[in-house]
């Protein structure tokens, strides 16, 4: 008895492991083709037929099932913000007076260099502020009740500027 189907099964397992690392559903569809080829091999089909079955099933899965499965996966999985994106909108505490040129805030347990988004005002130590954006290692903050005008990315000009 030919045990070539075991190679296809091994390939399917390897592709399944790669899929777990990427979560793109590409390697899962290829693994489906390998499983189909393993079934064909188990039924006694010659290698060329197994190869053809693997290719046809993988292509059908890639173009028939994958788009639907990706859409379903993305609609049920929330976008998790990480890194800098996760800090925007968070509340921070001023630890050293924040102006439009200097200051420090404590954000998520870390002390960050900070700048006031609103020019000409000082946010005193102990004030809670909201992170508006981050550039490099500097958090741009504003007082929670201060609306930020999106047409003026650096806030209104201060008197005397």
Say what the pLDDT of residue 50 is: 95
CA distance 71 to 66: 8
What pTM was estimated for this model as a whole?
0.53
Name the percent of the chain in helix, strand, coil, to the closest 5: 45, 20, 35
CA distance 74 to 92: 31
Task: Please choose, from the candidates 125, 94, 128, the residue with its C-alpha nearest in 3D space to the C-alpha of residue 111.
Answer: 94
- Residues 23-63: pLDDT tens digits? 899 999 999 999 999 999 999 999 999 999 999 999 999 99
So where are the chain's domains? 5-76, 84-142
Place of tokens 């909108």: 89
Q: Residues of the chain with pLDDT > 90: what percent?
A: 63
Say what the pLDDT of residue 87 is: 87
Place of tokens 């001023």: 94
- Better-predicted residue by pLDDT, 144 or 139: 139
Whether domain 84-142 has CATH 2.40.50.140 = yes
pLDDT band at 161 (very low <50, low <70, confident <90, very high): very low
30: which residues sit within 8 A by CB, 6+ positions away? 15, 58, 62
User: Quick one: average pLDDT of 7-31?
Assistant: 94
Question: Is a pLDDT exceeding 70 seen at residue 122?
Answer: yes
């Amino acid at each position: 008895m030919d045990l070539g189907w075991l190679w296809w099964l091994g390939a399917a397992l390897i592709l399944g492991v790669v899929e777990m690392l990427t979560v793109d559903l590409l390697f899962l569809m290829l693994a489906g083709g390998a499983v189909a080829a393993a079934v064909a091999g188990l039924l006694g089909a010659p290698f060329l037929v197994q190869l053809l079955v693997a290719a046809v099933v993988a292509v059908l899965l890639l173009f028939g099932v994958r788009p639907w499965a990706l859409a379903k996966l993305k609609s049920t999985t929330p976008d998790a913000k990480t890194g800098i994106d996760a800090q925007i909108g968070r509340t921070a505490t001023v630890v050293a007076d924040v102006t439009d040129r200097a200051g420090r805030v404590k954000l998520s347990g870390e002390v960050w260099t900070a700048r006031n988004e609103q020019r000409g005002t000082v946010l005193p130590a102990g004030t809670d502020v909201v992170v508006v954006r981050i550039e490099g290692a500097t958090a741009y903050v504003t007082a929670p009740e201060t609306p930020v005008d999106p047409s003026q990315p650096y806030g209104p000009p201060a008197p005397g500027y």
